Amino acid sequence: MRLLSIDTSTRGCSVAVHENGVLLAGYDLYTDKSSSAMLTTLMKNAVEHAGFALHDLDAVVVAKGPGSYTGLRVGASTAKGLCYALDKPLIAINTLEAMAHQVIPFFSGETLFCPMIDARRMEVYAAVFSSDGSVVQETKAIIMDEHSFGDLLKDRRVVFFGDGAAKCKALLADDSNAIFLNEEIRPSARTVGSLAFKSFTENNFEDLATFEPYYLKDFMSPPSRKAALTV
């Protein structure tokens, strides 16, 4: 089983190729505008590095969000286009769940894990997972304050990470059960592809015609400068 995975949930892009759950190739690029400019190049390089061609794939996997509206649109449209062109199924994986699986192996069993993606101002996209990967709190948009996650922190250690965790740290750093990682954890196609192995074996595929990224919030475009000048 050969899977090509794509993650463009935040700034930058990540591509990986797995065969039977084993990582064969992976590229992660975190620069401005890299999602649209470099994604197809990274996909081509990853597949060739793994030793086969696009038509050899069994499925395409995409990180469905939450995250950047533009980034998610780029990833979803690219993945759907590949699936239509190659006649392959599409698998979608929650971005926060994949982030959690980057960290879970490094902590003991009673710890909880809270990946966070910056949603601007004091808002984050977040979810909470246990050490076995099960969902403790569903993915949602949260406006952070000093009471956030208080119920979980009463008697459990919670690891906060991702580019939204800095907002949380400023509010919760004094709580001994709140753990903040020094290393920045970014969304990666490597763990997206790892999680997709189970989805493939269970035939858990998306409907190509109706699939949309998991935005959580409606896109809000800023008012144009021209409109502001005419008011």
Q: 30-61: per-residue pLDDT in tens?
A: 876 656 678 999 999 999 999 999 999 999 99
Using the predicted structure, report yes or no on whether residue 201 has a pLDDT greater than 70.
yes
CA–CA distance, 163 with 96 (Å, rounded to integer): 12
What integer best gives the mean pLDDT of the chain?
A: 91
Residues 94-117 have pLDDT tens digits of 999 999 999 999 998 899 999 999
Mean pLDDT is highest, among 24-33, 81-90, 118-127, 168-177, for 81-90
**10 Å Cβ neighbour count for 179?**
17
Q: How far apart are CA 187 and CA 192, in angstroms?
A: 8
Amino acid 170: pLDDT: 85
Q: Are 24 and 15 in contact (CB under 8 A)?
A: no
Has residue 76 got a pLDDT over 90? yes
- CATH 3.30.420.40 spans which residues of the chain? 2-94+187-201, 97-180
Q: What is the dotted CATH code of the domain comprising 2-94+187-201?
A: 3.30.420.40
**Per-residue pLDDT at 228 exceeds 50:** no
What string of DSSP letters covers 102-155? Answer: HHGGGS-TT-EEEEEEE-STTEEEEEEE-TTS-EEEEEEEEE--TTTTHHHHTT
Which pLDDT value is given to residue 216?
A: 84
Instruction: Evaluate if residue 217 carries a pLDDT over 60.
Output: yes
Percent of the chain at pLDDT exceeding 70: 92
| Residues 6 or more apart whose Cβ sits within 8 Å of residue 75 | 6, 7, 8, 9, 13, 35, 39, 62, 63, 213
Q: What is the pLDDT at residue 218?
A: 60
Given a cut of 90, whether residue 12 has pLDDT beyond it is: no
Is the distance from CB of 165 to CB of 178 less than 8 angstroms?
no
Q: How far apart are CA 22 and CA 87, in angstroms?
A: 23
Q: Measured in whole angstroms, how far is the alpha carbon of residue 147 from the centre of its chain?
A: 26
pLDDT interval class at 227 (50, 70, 90): very low
Residue type, position 67, single letter: G
In the predicted model, is pLDDT for residue 229 greater than 50?
Answer: no
Half-sphere exposure of 21 (CA within 13 A, CB side): 6
pLDDT, position 167 = 86
- SS3 of residue 133 by DSSP: coil
Q: What is the spatial distance between Cα 169 and Cα 224, in angstroms, rounded to a whole number?
A: 34
CATH superfamily of 97-180: ATPase, nucleotide binding domain (3.30.420.40)
pLDDT at residue 68 above 50? yes
Provide the pLDDT for residue 34: 57
Can you give the pTM of this predicted structure? 0.91
Q: What percent of the chain has pLDDT over 90?
A: 79
